Amino acid sequence: MKKFLLICLAAAALFLAGNYIYYQTEWYLPLRQGEPEVFVKTEGKEILLRSEDTWSSIDIRGVNVGSGMPSGFATEYKITYEMYMRWFKLIQEMEANVIRVYTIQGEDFYHALYDYNKDNPDPLYLIHGVWVDDYAMRSHLDAYSDEMRGELLKDVRVVSDVIHGRKKIPYTEKYAYGTFKWDISPYVLGYIIGVEWESDLVLYTDDKKAEITGYDGKYICTSEDATPFECMLAEVGDELLRYETGKYNEQRLVAFSNWPETDPLEHATWKIHQTSNLAHLDVEHIIFKENVLSGTFASYHVYPYYPLFYEFEERYSQYIDDEGRNNPYRRYLMDLNEHHSVPVVIAEFGIPSSRGLARFDEARGFNQGNTDEKQQGEELQELYKDIRKAGCVGGIVFEWQDEWFKRTWNTWPGVDLTRNVFWSDFQTNEQSFGLLTFDPGEEESICYVDDSVADWEQVEPLLAADGCSLSLQYDEKFVYFRIHDDAGVEGKKYYIPLDITPNSGALSEEETGLLFQYPADFLITIDGKDNSAVTVQEYYDMVYANFRRDIWNNEDAFLNQPEKDSSVFHTIYQYLRGPIEIAEGVKTEPQIFDTGKLNHGNANPESEDFYSIADFYIQEKDIEIRLPWLLLNFSDPSEMKIHDDYYVHYGVENLKIDEIHVGLQSADENEVHDAGMETFAMKGWDEDPTWHERLKKSYTYMQEIYREYSEEG
């Protein structure tokens, strides 16, 4: 019996030791012999894929898959196995052949991809990213610090073990943790190391480490023109190839992330007063040796509305494509492709279908926001055509799903970023790049602004007078209003004053002479399909308070603040950019966007006339309106938090409310009819939002263009 117990203990100890070595260490015996296994490689400007003994060219028709979903930040990895299995099917039905992830995902991702592909004769391939810590990139550190170079050297080994199903990761804040036991390596085309590099980091590293003039490793070396930053990347790529070749006797493509701010080209007139035009990263200086049987490609994130040299450099701004259109984007892609001797993959391109806007595309109007879903799809088709006609081997659209945790520089001052995953912010363009969205409601939204008022049957009017009434309701994305007028709405104007904050507001409106029962902070004006808007009382104007000096070149708003009860109401703007110095002493005007202007249309996804950024719809006796929360200065509607007094707090602080006051006035040729103002109770949903998935109209457009190129291939 004693001997049996000893044998059992020894067996258990061996099992635990083996499990530890197998899943939790990087140790291996270098016993594998012969050439490494390779099923994907590059030749010239092509990527080749092996099928049995035949190599054939593959074009990249991809989609980036993020980590976020409603009520979950990206680092929580809350997407489930079932969701991934459903998504992979939809992605492949879209004719995509590649997905890309940016960092190590949760266990469910690898489990689902393994199960989806294992019996699939036409697998969905993966390009796996190796992430860089935000602090390391945006702090005092250079790229050779332990926090960056050291972590990258470790992380490439971790990612390699993960895709081979041989890694157990303890809790970490860097990426997902757990036991990764699914070998998905047969479906992994390669890796993209890094992110959109900060130009300051590249310049700082090249200056501080100027003594580093080259790197010569087992698989990768650098040319004599390589910069210190490029040498660091070469070392990281070399370590990935060394580790995967030695441990698994396999090789796959290894690439390095890049974008226009650090591209290898010269842009003489782009932001000459900033560092963006000075930092360069050129993977042509990173040389893969003959013992690399797989290869590399040049990876870029390229969008049509950024960077600004599209607009200011004649090479781009004056370029006419083969269809006779002004097309700076195509010319830039051509320049990138012509510069490189290896295949070029546009690893990110995209258009957000948000209501809010961040940048204009001056040439074609392919803007960063304020774009309908149908328009999003049409523009994505054109961008993919540009990518292929420029000679690139393909592109990976950004992105598969909308992500509520995302932020944008021109809206984040007004948002509680610790809680933005609990509501859908239609003003923040970064949340709306997806081909799949999450609409409020478990199966459908509580209200659709369209040609029916059936959504309002169970909603009692908040106020009514003289045959005219106003009703309200809200969900995780919008506040909805219904105006009903027994006499019909044609030829009339309607005004809805809103008292949001108890700390300020106007009892009158200067331009119209309207009087209000409660001090109003916003005024909704419905004046036909083309002249309707929301305006904000100047004291409660976030852009005026926080960006006034940058936009209008006025003195600081905090030194010359408006009156709390001012009767002046402002156009609601989004700040897009400040003055740009394009030549010595020559600056452009700042750009702003009228986001208070209301769009008329049918906002029901089931309608043939669906217009996804519609704000209101006029019927014979009814008007339906929907307004995004941030437009009304809600920083966190899940807890009903609004912007507090900017001039007391010198910026945006939160104030919790439990009610607002809402009014209705109508005006015809003869007089104004005032139905008064009433109190409307506001209660949030805390951390339990409702949502359901919906494929955007843009999905079918990507399906069409990917199918077109799939059939050509």
pLDDT (tens digit per residue) in 464-482: 998 999 999 999 999 999 9
pLDDT reading at 80 higher than 80: yes
Please name the residues in contact with 323: beta carbons below 8 A apart, sequence gap of 6 or more. none
Whether the CB-CB separation of 339 and 267 falls below 8 Å is answered with no
pLDDT value, residue 24 = 59
Check residues 27 and 438 and name the one with the higher pLDDT: 438
Question: What is the band of 455 on the pLDDT scale with cuts at 50, 70, 90?
Answer: very high
What order do you get walking across the sheet with 40-43 strand by strand? 40-43, 46-51, 54-57
Whether the CB-CB separation of 384 and 395 falls below 8 Å is answered with yes
Ramachandran class of 476: left when φ > 0, alpha when ψ lies in -120 to 50, beta otherwise: alpha
What amino acid occupies position 425? D
pLDDT reading at 19 higher than 60: no
User: Tell me, what DSSP letter sits at residue 589?
Assistant: P
- If you average pLDDT over residues 388-409, what whole number do you get? 97
Radius of gyration of the chain from its Cα atoms, rounded to whole angstroms = 28
pLDDT value, residue 288 = 98
Q: What is the mean pLDDT of the chain?
A: 93
CA angle 57, 63, 64 (to 5 degrees): 125
Whether the CB-CB separation of 684 and 638 falls below 8 Å is answered with yes
DSSP code string of 474-486: E-SSEEEEEEEET
Q: How far apart are the C-alpha atoms of 123 and 391, rounded to whole Å?
A: 25
Whether the CB-CB separation of 657 and 642 falls below 8 Å is answered with yes
Give which of 354, 300, 350, 304 is closest to 327, Cα–Cα.
304
Whether the CB-CB separation of 439 and 694 falls below 8 Å is answered with yes
DSSP code string of 277-305: TT----GGGEEE-TT-SS---EEEE-BTT
- The model carries a pTM of 0.94
pLDDT reading at 271 higher than 70: no
Tokens in use for 343? 């295949």
Question: What is the band of 270 on the pLDDT scale with cuts at 50, 70, 90?
Answer: low
How buried is 2 (Cβ within 10 angstroms: 0-12 exposed, 13-18 middle, 19+ buried)? exposed
